[in-house]
Chains A and B, each alone.
Chain A
């Protein structure tokens, strides 16, 4: 079993939103950034993996096992951190341990309190008195207090300041030092993922736009800026998310096609944020380009 997570042809239909044929694979020992704008379907996919939502079609395998038939065994080895802490606010961090511990065979109280100490959290403190950054830390402590092989994070950095986000990346970096452990990190703050993710899965409006290594994605595209009139018709068609502004135009462009561009067009390195932003403006062109070039 070399993959922590395999999602094949996953579909889920709601009245006003459809998740269409999502495919991705998270190899064991790696971090996958799960990106897309708000409402793109990231949380839906995570809920489907956790069997909170019932899929309409597709196969989900966690550690090579079916996510429904082997649900209990799988969840024994998964740690989940949501954006909000779904705990009773009046609980302190010891109540939390007392209520969650019995569910996990591998729960390690020493590890839980050790993590709280590392995160500078007081075990007597009530959840409602914790700041957002502290809430994230205690949720991570609760998720890592049992033997997890897969950590699923659903928008954990939303609303966090830069310092807390940086601390989180440090914690996650420490976690994946073991080759057994993987992370599925859903976020729309892509700067975090750019630092730590090995793989990227990008979905938009319920459709898979890209899945593969982060480096491959970033090496395929650049941002171009300049005078739009210098572009040929074919080049104009190739630009993803072509946007006019006061100084000219900007858009995403395949690096392979750069050679024919006018010297007046400025090129810049594309970030994941740029890719999401420009794709959001022209998803279809991006998808065609990506599929064509990545085979």
Chain B
């Protein structure tokens, strides 16, 4: 490969910093480094116990050293990789974050390793294929995710509300809740603006339908098409009717979720990570909460829909001198023991998309609500019946605008047409630049 002058300038400090020499732990093992993003106290304890300590105890050659870097992990990672000084295991927040890193050649293609260790047969194709760029596999998916409709089943029973199966029924429950002074949906974005896109994932997919979304993601249809106008208008109408409560911008995600558990909200539209709100008591047998896929909000399909999402990808840094160690870790996270322990102690973040999800794997988690959701998602993602989460398939700049710009629509500072026109132009530009992750096929 011939290096350009600019690449050469970037490579000099990178090479100086990298050294590409494996570090040794005091016990003589070779150290493999891993940076993790944001994790709460329970998550950090689970990572330390179920991943780091368990992996280090499972073999004698490698020592996994994990650093929790917090919410700015993507920024740190990009700078570190550019300087040739990143961790051995490169974890990103999903395929749309991996795309620029993989196309810049900062992580290794895993095809030979995947062949050698049978990863291509071990992972669900719908998830694994989101990490394929230019015909090469660059990462393993760490989890699968979707949006869900959590609801307070005790409140529903008490008020005689029927579980909604379409938009009209959903709005009927929301109006009934409002009339009783109950917040229809306990959502809040004070600590994480990304909540906006959780909701938009639902509106876009469940109003326009997943086939229409796929056509837009592959460039066949502009985002200004009528089904998307309807989706954004519906989100605006629900926000302005107060369906998300008057404190949407003031409450943190978990705070807002607890409104449903405490009988102040009827439902919550949240992602699989919400199963990790163990403080909400959803892992207890007598929980007041139940969960279903979010029902259709348009006429494109009937029933509920899971939206395919991947919350994190795991790759090997281009300069890593410890490829075999990372491979050992990648194989470890596919074991039944790890799957059960991690999903029991920190539910929702490590649903490794293994193809063969045996009932025994799920049973060991001991969290019936979560086990039911994992099994349902697995079936949907295996059979190709899914929509597309915005955080997995929308490229970086478009996704950022999707999140920030929608607040202007909800607060009457921009029209739906202006919003979708800008989103469409950003998406088309990023598509031209090859920044849209691979879009997996789906079955009707």
Please say whether chains A and B are actual partners in one complex.
Answer: no
- Residues of A in contact with B (beta carbons under 8 Å apart): none
